[in-house]
Amino acid sequence: MDLSFTDEEVAFQSEVREFLEANLSADVKDRYSRGIHFSKEAQERWQRVLNDKGWLAPNWPVEYGGTGWTATQKYIFAQEMGRASAPPPMPFGVSMVAPVIYTFGNQEQKDYYLPRILKSEDWWCQGYSEPGSGSDLASLKTKAVRDGDDYIVNGQKIWTSHAQHANLIFCLVRTDGDVKAQEGISFLLIDMNTPGITLKPIIGLDKEHTLNEVFFDDVRVPISNRIGEENKGWTYAKFLLGNERTSIARIAQSKLRCEHLREVAAAERVNGGLLQDDIDFMRKLNQIEVDLMALEYTELRMLSKIEHGETLTAEPSLLKIKGSEIQQRLTELLVESLGMYGAAYEALEVREGRNDQNFAPDYAHGPMAEHLYLRAATIYGGSNEIQRNIISKMVLGL
Amino acid sequence: MDFELSEEQVLLKDSIDRFVKDNYGPEDRIKLSQTELGFSRDHWKTMAELGWLGMAFSEEAGGFGGGAVETMIMMESMGRGLVLEPFVSTVLLGGALVAEAGNADQIEAIIPEIIEGNLMMSFGYAEAQSRFNLNDVETTASKSGDGYILNGTKAVVYHGGTADKIVISARTSGASRDADGISLFIVDSNAAGLDIRSYATVDGQRAADVRLENVTVPASALIGAEGVASPVIEKVIDGAIGAICAEAVGAMAAANEITNEYLKTRKQFGTAIGKFQVLQHRMVDMYMEAEQSKSMSDMVAMKLDLGYADDTRKAVSAAKAQIGKSAKFVGQQSVQLHGGMGMTDEYSIGHFFKRLTTIEMLFGNTDFHLNRFSNL
């Protein structure tokens, strides 16, 4: 057991830090540090910078464009990204569908899709949930029926984040309705521009357009767009969800929020002093920092296990539960730090500029939007109730 | 001791429930909150015609002499529909300050106009540095000839952009945060030197930041005597806290009904999700929070009607602390139990969550009132 970094690791840390300082543009940093939704143009621009350096997909195997870093280096990189307020790449391509493609896809699929993800040429979205299938994902009804070399897909997906920006969707579809729900699912890659696909925006609590409904009406999808075997899609889907739960903990970003909260507490005035002198407030912030530290070391312990060739069972569920709860507590506290100015919020899309009219400090713009949006953190990626079921079943055998 | 409503009170409750049912369906409310005004002048007229705007004022002032219990009844029913009209700002803040400490001329000029629905008011008390401390006033009023000159900035003044008159707390003497030396002035919204910047709040309402630059008011704008407004402000705000506690109780009751219904109808894993014990217990906790809140809201309304003493102040803070905690829990868990549906703006539950979130902050958050409770 050893917590310290080697000289090489320290040098690597400086390299990452210097690179981010030199290459992260101010507009990207500003949006991300405020918790405001990204713009597609800026996100793409930033992803290209990372990819030019070869750092877009550290977790991928080297042969597909990964970095070959040790777990410690990956950890250092994630920490430095967080510290610099650098947004991670959009997860749908890099950390969700790509591992499915390089693990279960055929050579042709790997050769075509993986480079395009690295170059940000494709934007992916995730076609999992349906109106009747949320927590009970395996009950999904979107149907794919064979017709020559194609599947004909009919049905509906919902809560599809950022689908309006995507040109590709990875989809779970039912290819066999006569077997146990989990055994009749296939995993398809679908071009969003195929005739028969329509999008309907869902405006969120934060009045932003993040979510969508996606409708499939006799959509022709080549059978060659299927990943792996027919009716084995549930295996690939679960593999993907396991990856999603790890990245969803967003520990580095939460650390950044803690730091930001300390800055706000040093600026907000109360009773002639500063908020940082308020014992009740600081106690809450300190408690979150301690919880976050525990989560960080839990993650490191898990990474060490992986490094030593052990396989994880339900540990990612723990990261997801604790990580999402901490994110929510942080944004709640950030809103609280603003006093009544926390309530002054309306999305730009509703009435541009109206919320810029008050005299609130600059840091007051953003926290409420993030607070509202992150109520979803305990819902998406498998709700926290479902994650607890997973731990109870897989770890505790209950 | 009796927690039951009188026949008259039941009629009052029924009439507001009917108004909410007819006018505040979830879609109506969303539409209304997105208009420039943010509420309906027609609804305001209806409220005047039905006598609700006069309920809290004494009969001498032209009102119906209702007490905090009547206010509680009205606010609880309005909370069920998340009513947007500036009832608290006009009647329970601006109007109440005039009724509490104003002279006969001021009362005569203002209260009947409020009751008729012709005059809207708001109250600018908070400042950027004051957080929830009502005595932390840096806005100044200096004597000039027969009147005063006001300078300063008031923060997050609910309905400041639509008020005809704004009551402003300003320091006529003393140092920042002194209880002594605070005075109240009635300022016309079109007064020269007044810069009112209106914006939307997350709960679908409107607030404004109000900057006063050499705003001149006559001596007749002063409410009560100079420099002694602090206890008046505290008393009026405490009354308003009682009111928003009742609003939260109504909002929590509605949120719980909607969520409970969702648990019964939403099916996953071949059964209604309400059959899962983990969700049942969550819903039970939400129910208990709402019941505890209702008890505190009723208690505080009855105490306010018995007179205003230290014990009342302590009760107000206890109620606000309890209800702040409950409002957060019920609001957040209502969204959680709805899953993705809870995250959409077109579905009603999120709007309850957002209003409950701001009620927790309004007039002092949970921490503030726990401290006030322990210090009183």
User: Could you tell me if B185 and B296 lie in one domain?
Assistant: no
What pLDDT sits at residue A351?
45
Amino acid identity at B35 = T
Does residue B360 share a domain with residue B235?
yes
Q: Say yes or no: B79 and B131 in one domain.
A: no
Flag if A269 and B176 touch (Cβ within 8 Å).
no
φ, ψ for residue A31, nearest 5 deg: -60, -45
Q: Is the domain of B280 the same as that of B336?
A: yes
Determine the pLDDT at residue A38. Answer: 79
Whether residue B204 is contained in a domain is answered as yes
Say if CB A127 and CB A170 are below 8 A apart.
yes
Under a CB-based contact definition with an 8 Å cutoff, are residues A202 and A251 in contact? no
In a shared domain, residues B210 and B167 = yes
* Torsion sign over Cα A16, A20, A23, A28: positive
Domain end call among B75, B105, B120? B120
Residue B340: its chain A contacts at CB < 8 A?
129, 134, 158-159, 211, 376, 379-380
Q: Is residue B1 part of a domain?
A: no
Alpha-carbon gap, residue B96 to A369, rounded angstroms: 34
CB A160 within 8 Å of CB A187: no
User: Which residue of B32, B130, B201 to mutate against A (max A Cβ within 10 Å)?
Assistant: B201
Q: Are A331 and A384 in contact (CB under 8 A)?
A: no
Looking at residue A307, its pLDDT comes to 78
Residue numbers in A near B197 (CB within 8 A): 357-359
Q: What is the model's pTM?
A: 0.94
Task: Kindly tell me if the per-residue pLDDT of B209 is higher than 50.
Answer: yes
- How close A168 comes to chain B (CA, Å)? 22
Phi, psi for B197 (deg, rounded to 5): -115, 110
Query: Confidence class of residue A241 from pLDDT cuts 50, 70 and 90?
Result: confident
3-state secondary structure of A124: strand
B193 and B249 both lie in a single domain: no
Q: Which letter does DSSP use for residue A339 in this model?
A: G
For chain A, what is the mean pLDDT?
A: 92
pLDDT category of residue A356 using cuts at 50, 70 and 90: low
Those residues whose C-beta lies under 8 Å from the C-beta of residue A144, and which sit 6 or more positions away, are: A151, A152, A153, A173, A174, A175, A186, A188, A221
Contact status of A359 with chain B (Cβ, < 8 Å)? yes
Residues 191-230 on B with a CB inside 8 Å of A are 197-203, 207-209, 211
- Residue in chain A closest to B206 (alpha carbons) equals A344
Cβ distance B131 to A344 less than 8 Å, yes or no, reads no
How far is A328 from A318, CA to CA, in rounded Å?
A: 16
Write the pLDDT tens digit of every residue in A316-328: 899 999 999 999 9
Where along chain A do its domains lie?
7-89, 124-233, 248-394
> Is CATH 2.40.110.10 correct for A124-233?
yes
Cβ-Cβ contacts under 8 Å, A370 against chain B: none
Write the CATH number for B22: 1.10.540.10
| Listed residue (B80, B75, B83, B76) closest to B254, CA to CA | B80
On whether residue B169 sits in a domain, the answer given is: yes
Domain covering A7-89 assigned CATH 3.90.76.10 in the classification: no
Are B112 and B142 contained in the same domain?
no
pLDDT number for residue A357? 65
B281 contacts chain A (CB < 8 A): no
Interface contact A204-B342, CB threshold 8 A:
no
- B265: domain CATH number is 1.20.140.10
Tokens of residue A21, six digits: 């300082």
- Amino acid at site B331: G
Which positions in chain B touch A270 (Cβ < 8 Å)? 129, 131, 133
Quick check: B277 contacting A, CB < 8 Å? no
Burial class (CB in 10 A: 0-12, 13-18, 19+), A309: exposed
Q: Cβ(A388)–Cβ(A292) under 8 Å?
A: no
DSSP string covering A174-241: ES-SSS-GGGGEEEEEEETTSTTEEEEEEEBTTS-EEEEEEEEEEEEEEGGGEESSTT-HHHHHHHHH
What DSSP designation does A156 have? E
Per-residue pLDDT of A187-225, as tens digits, reads 999 999 999 999 999 999 988 889 999 999 999 999 999
What ranges in A266-278 are assigned the alpha helix state H? none
Asked if the domains at A124-233 and A248-394 fall in one CATH topology, the answer is no
Q: With pLDDT > 70 as the criterion, what percentage of chain A qualifies?
A: 96
Residues 101-160 of B with CB under 8 A from A: 126, 128-129, 131-133, 136, 153, 155-156
pLDDT, residue A279, reads 94
In a domain, B348, yes or no: yes
Q: Looking at the complex, does the CB of residue A269 fall below 8 Å from at least one CB of chain B?
A: yes
For residue B97, the enclosing domain spans 7-120
Asked if B153 lies within 8 A of A359 by C-beta distance, the reply is yes
Shared domain check, B75 and B11: yes
Assign A250 a pLDDT band (cuts: 50, 70, 90).
Answer: confident
Co-location of B100 and B158 in the same domain: no
Per residue in A39-92, pLDDT (tens digit) is 899 999 999 999 999 999 999 999 999 999 988 898 899 889 988 999 999 999
- Residue B65 within a domain: yes
Cα separation of B30 and B20, whole Å?
A: 14
- How confident is the model at residue A350, as a pLDDT? 45
Q: State whether B188 and B246 are in the same domain.
A: no
pLDDT reading at B191 higher than 70: yes
Q: Mind listing the pLDDT tens digit for each residue in A99-119?
A: 999 999 999 999 999 999 999
Q: How far is CA B219 from the centre of its chain?
A: 29
Listed residues B200, B227, B254: the one ending a domain: B227
Rounded CA-CA distance B288/B111 in Å is 39
Contact B129, B138 (CB under 8 A): yes
Cβ within 8 Å, pair A345-B353 = no
Among B residues 325-364, those touching chain A with beta carbons less than 8 Å apart: 328, 332, 335-336, 339-340, 342-346, 350, 353-354, 357-358, 361-362
Weakest-pLDDT range from A33-42, B39-48, B69-78:
A33-42
pLDDT at site B241: 98
pLDDT band at A355 (very low <50, low <70, confident <90, very high): low
Give the model confidence (pLDDT) of A15-29 as tens digits. 999 999 999 999 999
Q: How far is A221 from chain B (nearest CA, A)?
A: 28
Task: Return the SS3 of A292.
Answer: helix
Asked whether residue B91 falls in the same domain as residue B126, the answer is no
The residues near B355 (Cβ < 8 Å, ≥ 6 apart) are B82, B203, B204, B247, B251
- In chain A, which among 154-183 make CB contacts under 8 A with chain B? 158-159
pLDDT digits over B41-65, tens only?
999 999 999 999 999 999 999 999 9
Length of chain B: 376
Q: From CA A98, how far away is CA A77, in angstroms rounded?
A: 20
Radius of gyration (Cα) for chain A, nearest Å? 22
- The Cα–Cα gap between B300 and B244 comes to 11
Please report where in the chains the tokens 């080549």 appear, as a residue: A222
Contact A11, A19 (CB under 8 A): no
User: What average pLDDT does the segment B222-249 reach?
Assistant: 98
Inter-chain touch B268–A345, beta carbons under 8 Å = no
Same-domain pairing of B345 and B368: yes
Question: What CA–CA distance (Å, rounded) separates A383 from A121?
Answer: 31
Domain boundary among B120, B153, B178: B120
Look at residue B2 and tell me if it is in a domain.
Answer: no
Whether A391 has its CB under 8 Å from any CB of chain B: the answer is no
Backbone angles phi, psi at B130, to 5 degrees: -85, -20
- What fold, for A248-394? Butyryl-CoA Dehydrogenase, subunit A; domain 3 (1.20.140)
Burial A268-304 (b: 16+ CB within 10 A, else e): bebbeeebbebeebeebbeebbeebeebbebbeebbe
* Parallel/antiparallel/unpaired status of strands A168-174 and A124-127: parallel
CA A381 to chain centre: 9
| 3-state SS, one letter per residue, for chain B | CCCCCCHHHHHHHHHHHHHHHHHCCHHHHHHHHCCCCCCCHHHHHHHHHCCHHHCCCCCCCCCCCCCHHHHHHHHHHHHHHCCCCCHHHHHHHHHHHHHHHCCHHHHHHHHHHHHHCCCCEEEECCCCCCCCCCCCCCCEEEEECCEEEEEEEEEEEECCCCCCEEEEEEECCCCCCCCCCEEEEEEECCCCCEEEEEEECCCCCEEEEEEEEEEEEEHHHEECCCCECHHHHHHHHHHHHHHHHHHHHHHHHHHHHHHHHHHHHCEECCEEHHHCHHHHHHHHHHHHHHHHHHHHHHHHHHHHHCCCCHHHHHHHHHHHHHHHHHHHHHHHHHHHHHHHHHHECCCCHHHHHHHHHHHHHCCCCHHHHHHHHHHC
> Does residue A52 contact residue A19 with C-beta atoms inside 8 Å?
no
Alpha-carbon distances, residue A372 vs A89, A207, A268, A376, B303 (angstroms): 22, 9, 22, 8, 36
What is the per-residue pLDDT across A269-311, written as a single tens digit (0 to 9) for each? 999 999 999 999 999 999 999 999 999 999 889 888 887 888 8
Say if the Cβ atoms of A339 and B335 lie within 8 Å. Answer: no
Q: What is the model's pLDDT at position B233?
A: 98
Share of chain A above pLDDT 90, in %: 77
Would the ipTM clear 0.90, i.e. be above it? Answer: yes
Structure-token pair, residue A206: 């934060």
At residue A243, the pLDDT reads 72
Alpha carbon B84 to chain centroid distance? 11
Distance from CA of B315 to the nearest CA of A (A): 21
Sign of CA dihedral B258, B260, B263, B265: negative
pLDDT band at residue A354 under the 50/70/90 scheme: very low
Q: Which chain B residues touch A342 with a CB distance below 8 Å?
A: 361
